[in-house]
Amino acid sequence: MNEKPNIVIVFTDQQRWDTVGCYGNTLDLTPNLDAVAKQGITFKNAFTCQPVCGPARASLQTGRYATATGCFRNHIALPDNEKTIAHYLRSNGYETAYVGKWHLGGTWDKPVPKEKRGGYDDYWIAADLLEFTSHPYEGKLFDKFDNPVEFNKYRVDAVTDFAIEYLKARSNDKPFLLFVSYLEPHHQNDMNRYVAPEGYAERYRNAPVPMDLIDKDGDWKENLPDYYGICKRIDENLGRIIEQLKELDIYDNTILIFTSDHGSHFRTRNSEYKRSCHEASIRIPMIMHVPDIKESVAVEELVSLVDIAPTLLEAAGIYVPRNMHGRSLIPLLRGGDVNWRSEVFVQISESQVGRAIRTNKWKYCIYAPDKDGWNDIGSDIYVEQYLYDLENDPYEQNNLIGNEAYRSVCDALAKALKRQMLLTGEQEPKIIRAKAVSDLI
């Protein structure tokens, strides 16, 4: 057994935190993941730092916010000088493997050249935009030599097959990092819908509806059963990966992380699925199996995707670079008195140029009405947009922004938000107060 732990990251796309049993879901969608949680760590309050696919991935890989990497929106390649967890681990003796959706190469439906693969050099079967090279039951990825690798089965199953293929064929004398990146439960773009495996959506036609969606328009009525069915199939495939790790007798020396890039509000908050500050968009599942932890640990502190990179480096005994914005989660696993952050910071692009801060009680969001969310990375001037009291309004139905009774709350949150922006390398902006109670929710 290697002294350093193996690392497997199972990464889904657009999966809401409340699809998972250990977060309260009652549909039995995730029995395999829930079993991991029973003998591992559940981060009860985990969030993305950017509710858009590419930027979230850049932040996870580098431990840095999207505006720092330059990948502030989709279709921007990760700069060659940005070091990822794969770079650091590989230079310290790890084998690195990547399977599935990459979205950091800037090549769309073409192969990703080696220099754009973020240090995943030993095993590579991936597509930059898997939703452009495939459909739910057929398509292709590319191997490390840029050859197309076709599949004709449910896409989640195919990606899992490639991951298991690596586990069986890997070098046994090195610890490894395996990143398994599913496209699902993301909608299929050119079909404009979520697509569950055959027969799975029917199981959830009468399933309970999340409270934030009820009485909202959007397209959840058409898509929620399929969405749930996809989450079920993902969990079944997670079970296959865990079973393979156990068959190879390496599960007990492997760190397994399951998380997602962002959630989905099913077009109830704006015209698309995730680009907003709301819980449905930014709150994500994050569960870990860690060697030597054999009982359920619930971490209540607020954690972010940017924390994963420094966590893995520390776990592997590697110095965490100072330019990483995230913090290692390992002190939280040990318990005791940890001087942890009291808020998480979120950057929003494409739908708007927005910034948000989320504490245990409050959600506060600002936006730049004169900026373009696709072309502008930030702004010098923002306007208050949302304030939610999450303790009393967990489904964010009552926007309090502009209500003078909460002026002092907004001022304190604005100060904290500015501080976070400065810490990530942004300039301190001017924030214009909302003049009246907004009718936006």
Tokens of 266: 């099913």
Based on the fold, state whether residues 75 and 214 are members of the same structural domain: yes
Q: Domain with 253 in it: what CATH number?
A: 3.40.720.10
Say how many C-beta atoms besides its own lie within 10 A of residue 221's C-beta. Answer: 12
0.85 surpassed by pTM = yes
Phi and psi, residue 115, nearest 5°: -70, -10
Tokens of 112: 């990703």
133 in Cβ contact with 105 (< 8 Å): no
Cα end-to-end span (Å), the chain: 53
pLDDT at 439: 46
Q: Of 334, 366, 398, which residue is a domain's last?
A: 334
pLDDT at 358: 98
pLDDT at 336: 65
Q: Does the residue 438 lie in any domain?
A: no
Q: Does the residue 168 lie in any domain?
A: yes
Q: Does the residue 317 lie in any domain?
A: yes
Number of folded domains that form the chain: 2
Average pLDDT of each block of 10 consecutive residues along the chain (441 residues)?
A: 85 98 98 97 98 98 98 96 98 97 97 98 98 98 98 98 97 93 97 96 97 95 98 98 98 98 96 96 98 91 98 97 96 83 97 98 98 97 98 97 97 98 97 72 47
Based on the fold, state whether residues 234 and 119 are members of the same structural domain: yes
Say how many C-beta atoms besides its own lie within 10 A of residue 135's C-beta. Answer: 12
> Which position has the token pair 């029995």?
31
Phi and psi, residue 364, nearest 5°: -135, 125
Amino acid at position 288, single letter: M
Q: Does the residue 126 lie in any domain?
A: yes
Q: How many CA atoms lie within 13 A of 150 on its CB side?
A: 2
Q: Can you tell me whether residue 344 is helix, strand or coil?
A: strand
Based on the fold, state whether residues 365 and 327 are members of the same structural domain: no
Distance CA 49, CA 44 (A): 16
263 in Cβ contact with 278 (< 8 Å): no
Q: Does the residue 327 lie in any domain?
A: yes
Q: Does the residue 439 lie in any domain?
A: no
Tokens of 273: 């699925």
Residue ranges making up the domain that contains 204? 6-334
| DSSP annotation of 64 | S
Based on the fold, state whether residues 356 and 277 are members of the same structural domain: no
pLDDT at 3: 82
Based on the fold, state whether residues 91 and 217 are members of the same structural domain: yes
Q: Does the residue 339 lie in any domain?
A: no
Distance CA 104, CA 182 (A): 14
Burial class (CB in 10 A: 0-12, 13-18, 19+), 217: exposed
User: Which H or E run contains 184?
Assistant: strand 176-185
pLDDT at 335: 74
Based on the fold, state whether residues 302 and 328 are members of the same structural domain: yes
Based on the fold, state whether residues 312 and 415 are members of the same structural domain: no
pLDDT digits over 51-71, tens only?
Answer: 999 999 999 999 999 999 999
Q: At what angle do helices 155-169 and 220-247 cross, to 10 degrees?
A: 20
320 in Cβ contact with 303 (< 8 Å): no
Amino acid at position 157, single letter: D
Q: Does the residue 159 lie in any domain?
A: yes
Based on the fold, state whether residues 309 and 376 are members of the same structural domain: no
pLDDT digits over 317-349, tens only?
Answer: 999 999 999 999 999 987 766 899 999 999 999
325 in Cβ contact with 423 (< 8 Å): yes
Based on the fold, state whether residues 10 and 42 are members of the same structural domain: yes
pLDDT at 435: 78
Q: Of 274, 308, 334, which residue is a domain's last?
A: 334
Based on the fold, state whether residues 95 and 35 are members of the same structural domain: yes
Based on the fold, state whether residues 123 and 242 are members of the same structural domain: yes
Say how many C-beta atoms besides its own lie within 10 A of residue 308's C-beta. Answer: 25
Q: Would you put residue 292 in left (φ > 0), alpha (ψ -120 to 50) or beta?
A: left
Tokens of 216: 């909202």
Q: How far is CA 199 from CA 224, 225, 236, in A?
A: 14, 11, 15
Distance CA 366, CA 356 (A): 6
How many residues does this entry show for the chain?
Answer: 441
Q: Domain with 375 in it: what CATH number?
A: 3.30.1120.10
Q: Of 269, 304, 334, which residue is a domain's last?
A: 334
Distance CA 88, CA 109 (A): 28
Based on the fold, state whether residues 99 and 156 are members of the same structural domain: yes
